[in-house]
Chain A
Amino acid sequence: MTEVLSAPLVVEFPFTRSLGPVQSAFLTGLRERTVLGVRTADGKVLVPPVEYDPGTAEELRDLVKVAATGTVTTWAWNPGPRRGQPLDTAFAWVLVRLDGADTALLHALDAPGPDAVRTGMRVRVRWAAERTGAITDIACFEPYEEGEATGHQITAHSGEFGGETAVTGIVAPARLDYTYSPGRAQSQYIHALSGRRTVGERCPSCRKVYVPPRGACPTCGVATAEQVEVGPRGTVTTFCIVNIKAKGLDIEVPYVYGHIALDGADLALHGRIGGIPYDQVRMGLRVEPVWTDGGRYPDHYRPTGEPDADYDTYKELL
């Protein structure tokens, strides 16, 4: 059995998130070093403020200002910070009930060690030096032993900050790293391609040849294993003419994107048709692969010069 392939897969995107009024006010407030909460119909103050009452589902819009000091309600010491977390040295995750709030906010606490952290300890917000209107405008919390809880000094707040532009959206970059392994059947297929051979697998039950093989015959639900080399020639079963440049692909438009049934295969695979003017490509055209150095897949398929295949010979492969 050939070696199983694997390679890194990075899934990364800067998501653009619009906030709605309550979250907009909260994040604008953080930028202005102010912590807002939202008051429910029964008078509870939720910090961070949410748009809808977790208990009743009613819409919440009654903003209030709370203190930047509070009390730890639970904590967990994180000896090994991970990418993206608020601090890059060991810290405590904490839930903090800010003075004036009835619920707790999750964030990091900068403390010298786990022995310096306890439930019930007093903390205060350490503001980030550069604030943009994001939860990370709170750099973290820090111990604040001198400050006793000084009652619930909440005040109503309009959610507006004296002419300053409100934050209405955030950009949330997210990156996850995976190691992708395509499994046995596809690994064998890709290995064969490196020798410029196209090797499919035959279903032991229905005898159909799958290219590329996926490890299972999808109609019979059984493993495929018998290797069958197909092609290299094949028939264009159908196609479209692409007039819009595909992102990240260095192909001049227009070009032809075709479905190609390689001789001996029971379903078509996809590829570019070249070596012929785009407006002369037709269903039934006989083609063969053209390889370029270093390419894992054929660069494109070109006409063989054979007569076109009769429609009846490939209509089942459409």
Chain B
Amino acid sequence: MTGEFRDVAIVAFAQTDHRRRTDELSEVEMLMPVLHEVLERTGLATADIGFTCSGSSDYLAGRAFSFTMALDGVGAWPPISESHVEMDGAWALYEAWVKLQTGEADTALVYSYGKSSPGSVRDVLTRQLDPYYLAPLWPDSVALAALQAQALIDAGDTDEPALAGVAARSRDAARANSHAQIGGSVPQGDYVVRPLRTGDCPPIGDGAAAVVLAAGERARELCGRPAWIRGIDHRIEPHSLGVRDLTDSPSTRLAAERAGAFARPVDTAELHAPFTSQEVVLRKALRLGDDVTVNPSGGALAANPVMAAGLIRLGEAAARVHRGASDRAFAHATSGPCLQQNLVAVLEGDPR
């Protein structure tokens, strides 16, 4: 894709400390400090931003139009060019990237937030399923991931000790991430839905994240080492689990191909794998070898604010490029049951 698209980079990233509950904060009260921080990093004000896009879910909040109040934190006055996706913020970033491709804007503010604490997220996510054949059975998100994990075990792609290894590595990495909700030595615990144990599942919590995108020279003005988006693409699969091969993620592979991911090796991958078993699938689809640092932030196993966790993967990968810890990285986001929909971005820093 290089050369075909306008050069656009992630130039700043900020996130909350992710926590189990944030009862003392409304959504906008939780989000606003993150917006301030990400703008401060670039020296930009709301009025300097060409396009704003956010991602969130009414079902998570339990209220219709919940995103309209979050907009209060942006300071949308005078009126701004703005849009919203009812998806993870990674797709809001994609919409903003497209907007920058049209040349109508040179900078974009992207944010997303999610509070899982008010509801029972396992049950809430059942409402994503086919409303005729699946939703009436209330199969929760852990149950669906466990079906996928067992398929992987049956196929010989992994086993319980290997899954425990993914969990341990992620939580160990999260020690270095001050925003993580859990880290360090976390027991694998009992089965939640066998074969998945507590340790194989993401923590439930609240959080928000924001990034700033900028095009061309503007990116270099705003950031010492911009994380250039060399490619970005997303693909969706059939909805029904029973027609998919749960041990594979063809949509991730296709998105990666379209994003030019396999042209050169990467040093880092931030994968949006809320369950340990899903990392196994994604590593296979993205052909990641042991020489690639996977989820140095701890990934969604260390903090999983639903609707923001995908955008955080893009932000974490970009932040490593910004500080010179990575030269070329994958960032991945997912949506839907058992990795139904996947987004892959390739980020690069200028040669040092």
Contacts and interface: CB of A to CB of B under 8 A. Distances in A.
B193 A93 contact: yes
B40 interface: no
A17 B26 contact: no
Interface string B1-45: 000000000000000000000011111110010011000000000
A93 B62 contact: no
A235 interface: no
Nearest to A118: B154
Contact of B137 (A4, A104, A106, A218): A106
Interface string A60-88: 00000000000001111111001111100
Contact of B23 (A4, A105, A114): A4
A4 B24 contact: yes
A50 B149 CA distance: 25
A50 B131 CA distance: 12
A54 B77 CA distance: 45
B32 A223 contact: yes
Nearest to A134: B136
A95 B242 contact: yes
B134 interface: yes
A82 B123 contact: yes
B24 A216 contact: no
B26 A107 contact: no
A157 to B, nearest CB: 18
A83 B36 CA distance: 41
A64 B251 CA distance: 30
A119 B242 CA distance: 14
Contact of B77 (A74, A134, A181, A218): A218
Contact of B132 (A9, A23, A177, A217): A23
B77 A48 contact: no
Contacts of B150: 74-76, 119
Contact of B25 (A48, A76, A93, A184): A184
Nearest to A175: B123
Nearest to B145: A76
Given A9-B118, A135-B133, A85 B139 contact: yes
A108 interface: yes
A77 B118 contact: no
B135 A174 contact: yes
Interface in A153-177: 170, 172, 174, 176-177
A55 B238 CA distance: 8
Contact of B246 (A74, A97, A219): A74
A180 B29 contact: no
Interface of A: 4, 6, 9, 11, 15, 17, 19, 23, 27, 46-48, 50, 54-55, 73-79, 82-86, 93-95, 97, 103-108, 114, 119, 134-136, 170, 172, 174, 176-186, 214-223
